[in-house]
């Protein structure tokens, strides 16, 4: 008899975005002629950069010849991409990494969920609230979260990020073993300055806390005072794992490529107190469970760092951030409170008239035909808010904002 991992049974019946899809599909059946503008899921709409397409086409041609054919590649990633990552994303900001500290993957979401494989089930965890659901759900699967009580997991320390504290979280009330930080933040679109991030690094250093730092949206940062990497903070290599993605940076949501940095000076502990390099454990995990990201995809990712690729990717990011500016100006003009949209492609809106998140979602869908994401789906502190993304088409963005102005 095969026994199941019963922690999976603790998960809610469906993922947040599956619930949204069901509501939208139901609306479409009853309102077939209405045009829905989707601003909920953070999927991109603009095509891949021409430099990326050219590189991927060439990589396909490579596979058609005996001399240039590539079969299994290194599970950690090809050196041509790892070298480009280190040079452009880190060395250019004064951060120096070894090639063996960068692991190319099929996306940040996968690594954020899989990183728990190398950590014991009884580590305590802390999350910013509201929070990207994958951080919570992957730990539920591993048995680290306890039981769900009134919308909160009993063994999770929730760190509120709300209007009351200007979305700048306080250090947790009690010590945790693993801490999840995401900046620029998903879902609120807010950021931390270097001084604010330094506070968290110092806390981790003083308390032997492991920080999981998701910086998937760092390419959208406009303010020079906002750090792009946690490793810009002194001492962070001793306490932090960083996750990066090409999905939102370069439109790879369907191509799938990201990477994770696990510094060699970062340690975990055995029950006996022995220090163990997490880099070695993650390398062992990847070589056992992952066969590497495709050669074609990695050649495409490498092209992101070419002179042409940089300009083309920057233009696409500017396109989305212009959408964000249009949206923020319109939302504020409607008298609604809104955060984000300045260093991130997300806007976090406070629901009017004390509406709940789902009530606000329903009203936008049925009365304005706009799809957002209910804030409560990201955690208890998200109640009363709604997230919109700036990844849409420009004309749709303008139309959505015109509808919103007319509605309010």
- Co-location of 389 and 270 in the same domain: no
User: Which residues are known binding-site members for pyridoxal 5'-phosphate?
Assistant: 72, 108-109, 132, 186, 217, 245-247, 256, 291
For residues 330 and 283, give the distance between their C-alpha atoms in angstroms, rounded to a whole number: 47
Is pLDDT above 90 for 173?
no
**In the predicted model, what is the mean pLDDT of residues 1-25?**
88
CATH of the domain at 187: 3.40.640.10
Residue 95 falls inside a structural domain: yes
User: Which residues are known binding-site members?
Assistant: 15, 42, 72, 108-109, 132, 186, 217, 245-247, 256, 291, 387
Residue 157 falls inside a structural domain: yes
Tell me what percent of the chain is helix, strand and coil, each rounded to the nearest 5: 45, 15, 40
- Co-location of 103 and 247 in the same domain: yes
Residue 333 falls inside a structural domain: yes
Confidence of residue 46 (pLDDT cuts 50, 70, 90): very high
Pick the last residue of a domain from 304, 320, 352: 304
- Co-location of 275 and 314 in the same domain: no
Is pLDDT above 90 for 19?
no
Percent of the chain with pLDDT over 70: 100
User: Which residues are known binding-site members for substrate?
Assistant: 15, 42, 109, 132, 186, 291, 387
Residue 246 falls inside a structural domain: yes
Residue 7 falls inside a structural domain: no
- Co-location of 66 and 144 in the same domain: yes
For residues 253 and 258, give the distance between their C-alpha atoms in angstroms, rounded to a whole number: 10
Residue 78 falls inside a structural domain: yes
Pick the last residue of a domain from 304, 322, 337: 304
The tally of domains found in the chain comes to: 2
Between the CA of residue 124 and those of 162, 172, 178, 258, 286, what are the distances in Å?
Answer: 23, 12, 6, 27, 24
Pick the last residue of a domain from 264, 280, 304: 304
Confidence of residue 294 (pLDDT cuts 50, 70, 90): very high
Place of tokens 């910013």: 128
- In the prediction, which pLDDT does 151 show? 87
Confidence of residue 158 (pLDDT cuts 50, 70, 90): very high
- Co-location of 27 and 94 in the same domain: no
pTM here is: 0.96
CATH of the domain at 390: 3.90.1150.10
Is pLDDT above 80 for 120?
yes
Containing structural domain, residue 227: 51-304
- Co-location of 400 and 299 in the same domain: no
- Co-location of 205 and 241 in the same domain: yes
């Amino acid at each position: 008899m095969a026994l199941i991992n019963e922690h999976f049974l603790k998960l809610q019946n469906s993922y947040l975005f599956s619930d949204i899809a069901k509501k939208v599909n139901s609306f479409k059946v009853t309102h077939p002629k209405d045009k829905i503008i989707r601003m909920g899921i953070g999927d991109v709409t603009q095509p891949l950069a021409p430099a990326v397409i050219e590189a991927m086409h060439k990589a396909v041609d490579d596979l058609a010849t005996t001399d240039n054919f590539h079969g299994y590649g290194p599970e950690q990633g090809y050196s041509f991409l790892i070298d480009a990552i280190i040079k452009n994303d880190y060395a250019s900001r004064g951060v120096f990494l070894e090639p063996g500290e960068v692991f190319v993957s099929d996306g940040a979401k996968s690594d954020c969920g899989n990183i728990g494989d190398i950590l014991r089930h009884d580590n305590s965890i802390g999350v910013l609230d509201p929070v990207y659901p994958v951080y919570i759900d992957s730990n539920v699967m591993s048995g680290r979260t306890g039981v769900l009580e009134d919308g909160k997991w009993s063994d999770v320390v929730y760190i509120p990020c709300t209007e009351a504290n200007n979305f700048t979280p306080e250090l947790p009330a009690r010590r945790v073993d693993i801490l999840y930080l995401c900046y620029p933040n998903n879902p609120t679109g807010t950021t931390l300055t270097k001084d604010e991030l330094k506070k968290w690094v110092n806390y981790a250093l003083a308390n032997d806390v492991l920080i999981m730092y998701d910086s998937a949206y760092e390419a959208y940062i406009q303010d020079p005072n906002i750090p792009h990497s946690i490793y810009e903070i002194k001492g962070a290599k001793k306490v932090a794992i960083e996750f990066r993605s090409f999905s939102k940076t370069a439109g790879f949501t369907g191509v799938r490529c990201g990477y994770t940095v696990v510094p060699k000076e970062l340690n975990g502990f055995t029950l006996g107190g022995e220090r163990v390099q997490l880099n070695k454990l993650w390398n062992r995990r990847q070589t056992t469970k992952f066969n590497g990201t495709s050669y074609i995809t990695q050649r495409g990712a490498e092209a992101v760092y070419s002179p042409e690729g940089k300009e083309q990717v920057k233009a696409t990011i500017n396109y989305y951030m212009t959408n964000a500016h249009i949206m923020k100006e319109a939302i504020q003009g409607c008298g609604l409170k809104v955060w984000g949209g300045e260093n991130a492609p997300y806007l976090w809106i406070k629901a009017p008239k004390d509406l709940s998140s789902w009530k606000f979602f329903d009203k936008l869908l049925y009365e304005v035909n706009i799809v957002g994401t209910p804030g409560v789906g990201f955690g208890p502190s998200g109640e009363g808010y709604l997230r919109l993304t700036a990844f849409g088409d420009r004309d749709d963005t303008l139309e959505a904002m015109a509808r919103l102005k007319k509605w309010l």
